[in-house]
Chain A
Amino acid sequence: MNERKLEFLVGDNPFHGISHLSQKRARSRTKEESLFDIERASKLVKFCLENGASGFTFSVSETTLSILETLCQDAQVDLYPVVPYAYEYVRIATKTGGFAGLATKMFKQIALSRDIRVVAPVLFCGLRIDPETFMKTYLMYELSRIRRASSPNGHLKCVILHEVVTDMALALNFRWLFLSYIKFMLKSNVRPGIHTRNLPFLVKKFEEWAIDTSELAILTPFNSIGFEMNPSRIECEKALQNLSRAQVIAMSILASGYLKPIEAIKYVAGIPQIKCIAVGVSSERQAVETFRLLNEQNGKC
């Protein structure tokens, strides 16, 4: 019945202390389980890889880059980074007094990266204030940070555009941003990924803009209760019918810990267009149970 082979990714939310069920509990759990500890987090990702995950999806931050540095010393891992790490940039904006302060800081940070391929366009873009050049430069900067941290065993499979950028760009009709992003990623031999919490809206816009989705990965929430699925679970399921060739990565499958793994996994595994599942775990025990259930869907157990 289930001929396709699902891929499983381990997510990084627990390492940032994120839970959309209860932030209070996430905070105490992250402290208790020492998930802010780089060694501990890296061991947990490695454990997941040994138990059936094939890749790691993460927001690019100093924390996750440090996890990568440790992890990629002795584990082969496919990487699905999400950029930019919006939360970190909003925090920087707060500290630097708004978007203008953030932009200045970003210019400086990129210029100090000492990578000439990255620095040259940023200087050019700084003079012309060209958003498209700035985006490409920023992506180059992130690619170089990820590649440096993931050497020698990390394999950059896909770079995923964060939902805040995706959804804002969709709403403001920035077709140019998607075209430019996709072209840049394909040229860099990396699959372009898009993260969204508005899948039907994205599908409609991409059809309208004649953007080919066949080479894209789309990271989006899928769970049996429709949590974070906008406008509704049914509309999101319908939207999948127009994405048969894209690599759809289901996230929030446990609805942030609200659902039991067995019922959650049955639901997503039952949707043929879903090719990949991303799930966060906060302990070895949880990893064993989650990946055993996921593997069963592929008839491995």
Chain B
Amino acid sequence: MVSVADKKMNVGIVGLGKMGLLHASILNVWPNVRLAGFCDKSWLMRRVAKKILKDVLVTDELEQFMNLDLDVIYVTTPISSHYSVVKTIISKRLAKHLFVEKTLTRTLSESEDICALSKNYGGNTMVGYMKRFCVTFKKAKELLDKKVLGALRSFDAYAYSSDFAEVEQGSTLSLKRGGCLLDIGSHISDIALWFFGDLRVKSARIKSSITQGSIDSINFSVDGSDNLSGNFDVSWVESGYRMPEFGIVIKGSNGVLTVDDYELRLELHGANPLTYYRQDLKDSVFFALGESEYFREDEYFIRSILNGDSSEPTFSTAKKVDALLESARCKTDE
């Protein structure tokens, strides 16, 4: 049941791309949420938006949000612009609460800056690591918290997509998107940090297959607490991946847990293996658009605000992902 409060929440969206439209649509099914403003730099997207969206401010000037009395702003622009957009929103207090699509920014120092700025912000902050809201990963977290695997020993995490598998050699698109580490590696890094706590990068290898300086594949190994070791393999030039896929194989003293976007398999010593599919894990939501996790993510954020709870991953939690990614990049330079 979608009913959040008596008061209408005014929402502004910065960035009218795929993610902006997706969040705008999901938020608009709440009777108590009102889409009040859209901001985008593209003339074409603004022109289209003005034609089809009624009673909404459409602008390319973020400052114009000032007059909208916004409760929440969603930032869904390319990662490279997050720093300046978020900085403006916080410093000009354009909204009470702030959601930023992953990653928080493109570098650790930018994220640290944002976290410092947002310390006295007061409202909720959240970064869009939506895989936390996928039913299989949620189930894995629940099992790990119950210590079903015993002492954790190692893990192998991956994030693969075919997004750039067929892109021409020399194209700069991959550079513009920020590389696979930020784009898909951040999701699985967030999952790993959520599951295991702090991780330290030991070594890393990058492969630039599209153009020089572009991170198209990366492999890095990490250490965690209590002798945990792990490995990440990330690539967006794999063929045969219709959608990006994320997964992790975790080994513990009691057995092995394998989880991806679709299923979770638990193999404990001396017991029959257990498999949970999405189908087993109550995947339905009030309104589905894209993967069901997007609805759960937005619902959680809005409810957290209304209940006065914090909403994980907050900016400071998400900063840990940026720290891990930056550390992986630095290790390859070494």
Contacts and interface: CB of A to CB of B under 8 A. Distances in A.
Given A21-B262, A255-B279, A129 B25 contact: no
Given A23-B242, A23-B245, A201-B29, A131 B277 contact: no
A18 B25 CA distance: 25
A-B pairs, 7 with minimum CB distance? A171-B25, A258-B279, A230-B288, A129-B47, A197-B288, A168-B25, A231-B286
B190 interface: no
Interface in B64-80: none
B222 interface: no
A23 B261 contact: yes
7 contacts: A23-B260, A94-B173, A95-B173, A131-B52, A201-B287, A231-B285, A231-B286
A21 B286 contact: no
A167 B288 contact: yes
Given A95-B173, A129-B51, A228 B288 contact: yes
B25 to A, nearest CB: 4
Given A99-B45, A129-B44, A201-B29, A20 B278 contact: yes
B25 A23 contact: no
Given A16-B242, A23-B260, A171-B28, 6 more contacts: A21-B263, A23-B243, A95-B166, A164-B290, A171-B29, A231-B284
Given A23-B245, A167-B25, A258-B277, A90 B44 contact: no
B240 A17 contact: yes
Given A16-B242, A97-B176, A167-B25, A21 B287 contact: no
B16 interface: yes
B242 A168 contact: no
A18 to B, nearest CB: 6
A227 B279 contact: yes
Contact of B284 (A93, A172, A226, A256): A226
Interface in B170-220: 173, 176-177
Contacts of B261: 23
Interface string A120-140: 000000000111000000000
Interface residues of A, number: 48
A24 interface: yes
B319 to A, nearest CB: 27
B101 to A, nearest CB: 14
A27 interface: yes
Given A95-B173, A129-B51, A230-B284, A21 B21 contact: no
Nearest to A22: B262
Interface in A159-176: 164, 167-168, 171-174, 176
Interface of B: 16-18, 21-22, 24-26, 28-29, 42, 44-45, 47-48, 51-54, 163-164, 166-167, 173, 176-177, 240-243, 245, 260-263, 277-279, 283-290, 292
B334 to A, nearest CB: 31
A90 B262 contact: no
B87 to A, nearest CB: 23
A172 B289 CA distance: 12
A258 B53 CA distance: 40
Contacts of B279: 21, 225, 227, 255-256, 258
Most chain B beta carbons < 10 A, residue from A24, A97, A174, A231 = A231
A23 B18 contact: no
A100 B44 contact: yes
A173 B287 contact: no
Most chain A beta carbons < 10 A, residue from B16, B42, B54, B284 = B284
Given A23-B262, A100-B44, A130-B51, A230 B287 contact: yes
A99 B167 contact: no
Given A130-B51, A201-B29, A18 B288 contact: no
Given A20-B278, A171-B26, A198 B287 contact: yes
A259 to B, nearest CB: 8
A23 B262 CA distance: 7
Given A22-B263, A230-B286, A231-B287, A100 B42 contact: yes
Contact of A131 (B28, B48, B260, B284): B48
A91 interface: yes
Contacts of A109: none
Interface in A85-119: 87, 90-91, 93-95, 97-100, 103
Nearest to B262: A22
B242 A17 contact: yes
A79 interface: no
